[in-house]
Chain A
Amino acid sequence: MDIDAANRRAIDRVLQSQPTLVGIGTALETVPGMDGKTLLHAGPPVAWDRMCGPMRGAVMGALIYEGLAQDANEALEVAQSGEITFDPCHHHQAVGPMAGIISPSMPVFIIENATFGNQAYCTLNEGLGKVLRYGAYDPEVIERLRWMERVLAPALAETLEVCGGINIKNLLSQAVQMGDEGHNRNRAGTSLLIRELSPHLVRSGVSRQDAASVLEFINGNDHFFLNLTMPAGKCTMDAAHGIPESTLVTTMARNGTDFGIRVSALGDRWFTGAAEVPQSLYFPGFSEKDANPDIGDSVIAETAGFGGFAMAAAPAIVRFVGGTSKDALAATLSMYEITMAENDAYLIPPLDFRGTPTGIDLRKVVETGILPAINTGVAHREPGIGQVGAGLVRPPMQCFREALLAFANHVESVETVPS
């Protein structure tokens, strides 16, 4: 048994991954295991009866969008009927922010790992406020989804054909140097993306009117880049998943009810605990009583060594965590205690360009009691209202303890006996 060697292999695969945006496809055709009656969701497996408000709203919206229901009432019936298969995005090489619902007709980004060949998928970001991922399902929401399907996605698909692939890792590493962290702060990344795409969009066959509305749409949404950083992270971590004896945590995800993790050596087993309400700053008019428990696959960012793990590089986010640069530095520094390596691409200027702590080691989390620090948006518990704040959250320790016991059982073929 050489866990350290297995981990070195795993972390090498993480660091060598080159997630590249190569195109846009439709979920049904692109995402493995997708079919006409399947809805993918964020986080570990969860049945309809345990889904939180925003996720139920998003499911209902998706059913209406797909034409599987005419209105909210019918959508509710269909959702409860048992006809619909619900499965985690993660089981299908995909990730989704907040409720993270992916339905067959939705366009998805295709991210390919140029080094190892594996792919990952994510929907395109709808914007802020009343959107599907926060559980909204009004006609306005459906209309926007249709516009994305019919105008935005094809325009971007054509643009990508002209420009070839865009290396998301490169863009993200530049963005981290510009005050982003790739999870809660994506303004620089979105700006770099538009810069990258614009000449090709203009050169493509897309009409001027559509090109303008595409650019306006992206420009109006600071988080557009998030839906690229997430599958970039997924693509990266999938390449390091399934390595025997490795204690690398390859997945962290929440569905608004449970928080779940997966470990490289332990295959598809999820280790879950109750999702917590983040310690947050709330937008004016909202407070903790409005907050939904932690939700979304976006924590793939921290799993892959950015997001909260690059917090010290993102001064604008700093205030969400205890309020001072000192605390952000301390939070980032403590992450080095539980990770395997320092990233070679995501560098933190205030730490003298030290690489972000990357590759959570299950053993170190249990040993030190230090849980991964996650920056996250907070959703309103009622569907369709939107984001009510942002803050800091940690996974439940229970996930890591159970995973460690399972790992020990797995690698030691005899029953573990306290020494």
Chain B
Amino acid sequence: MKDVQDLLSRPPNVINVGLEIFYKDLKTQGVRAVSVEFRPPAGGDEHLAAILRRLQG
């Protein structure tokens, strides 16, 4: 389980997906982070999203 020990050995670098406030809090703490402004795939169209998943391979 080296990976978890790795995680616990120093402050993590974080990708934030979703709430902007969580990203703001990370930056306030001086964490190395980037943020993803998540939007539902294919604008929420389930049919297209399912097709995209098949085509992503």
Contact = CB atoms under 8 A, between A and B. Distances in A.
A366 B54 contact: no
Contact of B52 (A1, A2, A363): A363
A416 B52 CA distance: 11
B29 interface: no
B54 A401 contact: no
**Centre residue among B45, B48, B49, B56 by max chain A CB count within 10 A:** B48
B18 interface: no
- Of the four ranges (under 10, 10 to 19, 20 to 34, 35 or more), the interface on chain B belongs to 10 to 19
Contact of B41 (A2, A247, A367, A408): A367
B7 to A, nearest CB: 28
B34 interface: no
Interface of B is mostly: helix
Nearest to A247: B55
**Centre residue among A2, A247, A408, A412 by max chain B CB count within 10 A:** A408
Contacts of A404: 48, 51-52, 55
A271 interface: no
Contact of B55 (A3, A368, A397): A3
Given A401-B48, A405-B51, A416-B51, A3 B57 contact: yes
A412 B50 CA distance: 13
Contacts of B53: 419
Nearest to B49: A367
A411 B55 CA distance: 9
A134 interface: no
B49 to A, nearest CB: 8
Nearest to B47: A418
A369 interface: yes
B42 A366 contact: yes
A407 B54 contact: no
A369 B48 contact: no
Contacts of A419: 50, 53-54
Given A367-B41, A368-B39, A369-B39, A2 B51 contact: no
B30 interface: no
Contacts of A363: 52, 55-56
Interface residues of A, number: 21
Contacts of A3: 55, 57
Contacts of B11: none
B46 interface: yes
A4 interface: yes
A407 B54 CA distance: 12
Nearest to B46: A418
A249 B48 CA distance: 18
Interface string B22-50: 00000000000000000101110111111
Interface in A334-369: 363, 366-369
A318 B4 CA distance: 46
A368 B39 CA distance: 7
Contacts of A411: 55
A96 to B, nearest CB: 33
Contacts of A405: 48, 51
A419 B54 CA distance: 9
A339 to B, nearest CB: 16
A305 B39 CA distance: 25
A1 B54 CA distance: 10
Nearest to A368: B39
Given A418-B46, A418-B47, A367 B52 contact: yes
14 contacts: A2-B57, A3-B55, A366-B42, A366-B52, A369-B39, A404-B52, A405-B48, A405-B51, A408-B51, A411-B55, A412-B54, A416-B54, A418-B46, A418-B47
Given A363-B55, A405-B48, A418-B46, 18 more contacts: A3-B57, A363-B52, A363-B56, A366-B42, A366-B48, A367-B41, A367-B42, A367-B52, A368-B39, A369-B42, A401-B45, A401-B48, A404-B48, A404-B51, A408-B55, A411-B55, A416-B51, A419-B53
Interface of B: 39, 41-43, 45-57
